[in-house]
Amino acid sequence: MTTISPDILALQEHLAGRYSIETELGRGGMGIVLLARDVALDRLVAIKLLPESLAADPEYRKRFLREARTAAGLSHPNIVPIHLVEAHDELVFFVMGFVDGESLRQRVERSGPLSPRLAMKLMQDVAYALAYAHQREVVHRDIKPDNIMVEQGTDRALVTDFGIALGRDEAARGAGEVIGTARYMSPEQAVGEAVDARSDLYALGATFYYAVTGRAVFDGAHVHAILASQITKRAPSLIAARPDVPEKFAAVVDRCLVKDAEERWQTGDDLARAIGEVRGRDLRAPPLVRSFVRNAQITTMAVLAVLVAGSGAGVGTDGGVSFNGGPGAIGMILLIQLLFTARRLLREGYAFDNIRQALLAEARIQEEEAEVLKHYRWVRWLNAQWQRTWAGWFGRKFFQMAGIGLKPRKRLALPSADATEMVLGRSTMAAFDALPEAARGHAVEVRRVVDRLEARAERLRAEGNTGDPLNNTVAALEKLRLVMLKVQAGLASVEDLTGVLEEAKEIGVAVDRRIEAGEAVERL
């Protein structure tokens, strides 16, 4: 944890034993977002904390908790899930699912406008999420590129930030209030009229107009100018701004952006179905991954065919077929093409494991097709060789070679396979090593206590005991780390470290007794 602000230290003290904060992900007007680990389930989560300065304001506090409780009532694969909502004096926070990816805005800023195919997939995901929310009488009111997360590796879209969402009755009573993001706000929202599901669908159309073109439907020097355009000007056609977009998809987006709500798509389900008709068959993997898989199959089969033929085909003077040359030139051209695709995949943040999963999925699909078509066993064996080649040792080495000299896109590091207590133990010792030399008089004792707590937590987890004993053990580790960070920041003294160290020893002894008692009961 690199940030040691008082807000975060207080939160970690409160959460010790349940969640272990790793780093700060970002800050916005309504909160600090932190990456943490769920101790019992040993998974990554995100925690959104309302800063203490805002937690004291009743209006901010109410809005923040409303966001959490509204989203917590929604359970859908395209909505970021909320696991926990709590308010304790100045500590107001909620725990939500961690999305390993980036916002739609970040994606466009990093890679440029989306391909029509990817835009259709993401827009359909969000339309399904909104349909689900609308059926439960929740109007989001702030659909925009920043509030749509795109999951790395799967390109799944997830809706987040229900901070200004309203129930249907609240939305009907909300006339006169202009709140939201001007570039993506529906005309009725811009003039302060009551809004419903169709307002979210307008915002969705404006969001994907931006995603496909790289610019907003309406822009201006200030908010009032943008709002005036939303109210009075007709939205430009998507196909005029991006001619290569399929006409049917452009028509879907254009209908979202009609001024009269009665003429728009009326429900998220209607919109999702319309996009589905344009998309056709669902994609199994992100386009860049599928491109590599397809090219890998063609390359492998072509090289195998040339090798089997001997050394290249030619026609002799007597009309017979002869072979000359060799597979080198063909194989080299195809492999170079694959190398460029592999390097682009690595730059985009993909890894060999992502490709391997796609290869194995394609292998299962082809095996099912072979069963139906009753292919001979030797044909099926031959077809499987390219998948085994690229999913195994050769594929891994190929990607290692492709990555030479590359600086992959910086992404948040995912946790290791180690359990939380192991990661926390390393972090605790790193915090201890960073203390001033005068404060490191307990070096041997700290290491012994940390090792003991790690071992106890590992044993409890192995036995399936993820209740209070495990929570207390990990909490002791967490408190050790926190007091060291406080000493480092000048917020605590060496005497505080001594006191926490004694508490940690007592917890270790108590856990030992509990384990021994459990073993005695088992023997009996």
Distance of alpha carbon 498 from alpha carbon 492, whole angstroms: 11
Contact in structure between 141 and 189 (CB atoms under 8 Å): yes
Tokens representing residue 419 in the block: 């359990």
269 in catalytic set: no
Of 7, 142, 161, 200, which is the active-site residue?
142
Nearest to 233 by CA among 264, 195, 187: 187
Helix (H) or strand (E) holding 460: helix 443-462
H helical segments located in 136-213: 168-173, 187-190, 197-213
DSSP SS3 for 355: helix
Number of other CB atoms surrounding residue 165 within 10 Å: 20
CA angle 181, 183, 188 (to 5 degrees): 75
Distance of CA 446 to the CA centre of its chain: 36
For 12, 247, 265, the CA distances from 274, given in Å and listed in that order, are: 47, 13, 9
CA distance 157 to 250: 20
Nearest CA among 56, 48, 4, 1 for reference residue 29: 48
Segment holding 520, helix H or strand E: helix 494-523
Known catalytic residues?
142
